[in-house]
A and B are shown apart, each in its own frame.
Chain A
């Protein structure tokens, strides 16, 4: 099921894993132990295809992790430190989203069964944010098992659970193992919980012990002895599995691009429907910008008419930046982006899903903003001829903004960095939209603003293409 050969992972000068060899046969239950910083989580993330190895080979279910990662993702479930759930969605909505992402044909029935199994049926329509830690962990397990994975990776699954919940989790793992699921779980404490059939110990990024667990009671002592040794033992060579290798048929392809995009958009809109935090913040901020400009510059008559397009697009740009930032921060909060990356979704679908959600929010903002600007500046902004300009301008802004928001959300100064990154890049877009809007308001024909219109179209095409090609590099570890 798992074949790891000479696997290494470095983060700059720091070496997290060195020459790791590991073979896990189908149906095995392996515990990966080691102190903090030994490389357990790094190894698990590599196995989960969330991270790329620096060198070495990694095959899961006979599939190459570099070239067949989506097929691998369909076969594995991953329980991370974080729940990978969306706080702003209900349990049922979270599972429905992942069911679509994994292309589960029996989604509703499977969700109902899992909610029942994990005793969450009565709370299925409550927001996850209102759940206790134990309930969130149960729901996270339901998410990991939703697509019936053949391999389950669990990173410190007992952390934060009370004794009763620990027992329930152990019971579930025993049942899954009995059902043929391969289990690989990490732990740094070896007390009382299930340890499986085999233990692998990692120390300073190297495998220092790999043997069947014959005497579980003696294992904690052996573990401490191995860790207390001053010198790190030599790397263990690659050993072929004793058990027959897993023969995994390639799973059916996950949902196609349009369905995947729709799943992400529907999830974002549902989260926004529950909280209304992004839209309301954008609308109020944009309205304030219009009011402040109108008041401070004392815009009236012809001056107001001339300034209206510029002020309006400034308000849209500023409020848009606010919304883009929040939209991607929502993904980061509880590891939603990690959940998206775990699903067998094309990275292009991820980009289009996020960008389309942002585009819809910005268009909704304009539906509120245009009547207000019409009243404030006394200009006929509510006319059909302006719609293509507003759409093209917003599309370009959402296209490049989504990419940069995905970058900014991983930085320290995330709240302030996005406008610094984004605004210089949208210079041609803002000039073109302001000039085209102004031209149409002045009664110019389409032919007379053709240059601006063409520039907008070219900008949109270039930005969508570049963002589509580079989004994967931004979101992956």
Chain B
């Protein structure tokens, strides 16, 4: 019964992701106006901002999952943290790539130590370190609980440094265009609507991927338990 319900939710989420994503693509290419200075390349902005949002949100969920794991010791929180970190890493990678593609025509270089690119790079390194840590603890045979605890601690420490890194990098140098500023927004209402739809599409996609990745991890646990039972019977 529960399995059937899960399958229905999965299908619903996958269908919703496809619909919202296609809608967002349509709006990015056919609804949003062409930006006067940068032209068509500006459209990458809708993917760049949305993937960055999901990346940051994913990191927050990893932090939350880690903290809850340390408090309650329940495997489901560790699975949430792991799944969110892996998906976050994917989206932050997309943020970096789209940022570089945008930077070349805009600034003439693929990479510059601009605050938002730099913080994305730092965050990408943190996510990568998180994933490498889990893999290295697992390979050392320290046990799944230890892997979960180490990862939770790292996820918490890493998340707490993000705002500090943000201030440090921002004070260091700033040349990024201010999309949102105190005086108002530098984008038209149509652009804003497209951006919001993109954000929604990426968030739904994140939710779908998160659920699928968590289910995969639950299945792995189930398989490991069956193997263990078999070994003990032998």
Residues of A near any B CB (own CB < 8 A): 11-15, 204, 400, 403-404, 407, 410-414, 417, 420-421, 423-425, 427-428, 431-432, 435, 451-452, 455, 458-459, 462-463, 466-467, 470, 473-474, 477
Contact = CB atoms under 8 A, between A and B. Distances in A.
B227 A13 contact: yes
Contacts of B133: 407, 411, 417, 421
A413 B129 CA distance: 12
B76 to A, nearest CB: 14
A333 to B, nearest CB: 16
Given A425-B158, A470-B153, 13 more contacts: A14-B228, A410-B140, A424-B122, A427-B122, A428-B167, A435-B171, A455-B168, A466-B157, A467-B157, A470-B156, A473-B149, A473-B153, A474-B150
B4 to A, nearest CB: 26
Which residue, of A414, A427, A458, A463, has the highest number of chain B Cβ atoms within 10 A? A427
Given A13-B228, A14-B228, A411-B136, A459 B153 contact: no
Contacts of B144: 11-12
B168 A470 contact: no
The SS class assigned to the A binding surface is helix
9 contacts: A11-B143, A11-B145, A12-B221, A13-B227, A403-B157, A423-B125, A428-B164, A428-B165, A473-B152
B166 to A, nearest CB: 8
A297 to B, nearest CB: 18
A256 B227 CA distance: 48
Which 10 residue pairs spanning A and B have beta carbons closest together?
A: A12-B144, A428-B168, A411-B136, A424-B125, A428-B164, A412-B140, A13-B225, A13-B224, A412-B139, A431-B168
A404 B145 contact: no
Contact of A417 (B132, B221, B228): B132
A412 B136 contact: yes
A466 B228 contact: no
A15 B228 contact: yes
B171 to A, nearest CB: 6
Interface in B217-234: 221, 224-225, 227-228, 232
Interface string B92-104: 0000000000000
Given A420-B132, A470-B156, A428 B143 contact: no
B164 A466 contact: no
Nearest to A425: B161
Contacts of B154: 404, 407, 421
A421 B153 CA distance: 12
Contacts of B126: 424-425
Chain B, interface size: which category?
35 or more
B228 A451 contact: no
A411 B164 contact: no
B7 interface: no
A462 to B, nearest CB: 6
A431 B168 CA distance: 6
Contact of A474 (B153, B158, B169): B153
Given A204-B232, A477-B146, A428 B137 contact: no
A12 B145 contact: yes
A9 B122 CA distance: 39
A400 to B, nearest CB: 7
B149 A474 contact: yes
B157 A400 contact: yes
Contacts of A431: 168-169, 172
Nearest to B221: A13
Contact of A455 (B142, B150, B167): B167
A467 B160 CA distance: 11
B13 interface: no
A455 B169 CA distance: 11
Contacts of B20: none
A462 B172 contact: no
Contacts of B136: 411-414, 417
Given A12-B224, A13-B221, A204-B232, A410 B137 contact: yes
A459 B171 CA distance: 15
Nearest to B225: A13
A421 B128 CA distance: 9
Contacts of A474: 149-150, 153
Contacts of A413: 132, 136, 139
B70 interface: yes
A427 B168 contact: yes
A407 B147 CA distance: 10
Which residue, of A410, A417, A421, has the highest number of chain B Cβ atoms within 10 A? A421
A417 B129 CA distance: 8
Contacts of A410: 137, 140, 142, 146, 150
A459 B224 CA distance: 41
A474 B142 CA distance: 12
Contacts of B146: 410, 477
B213 to A, nearest CB: 18
Interface in B159-195: 160-161, 164-165, 167-169, 171-172
Contacts of B122: 424, 427
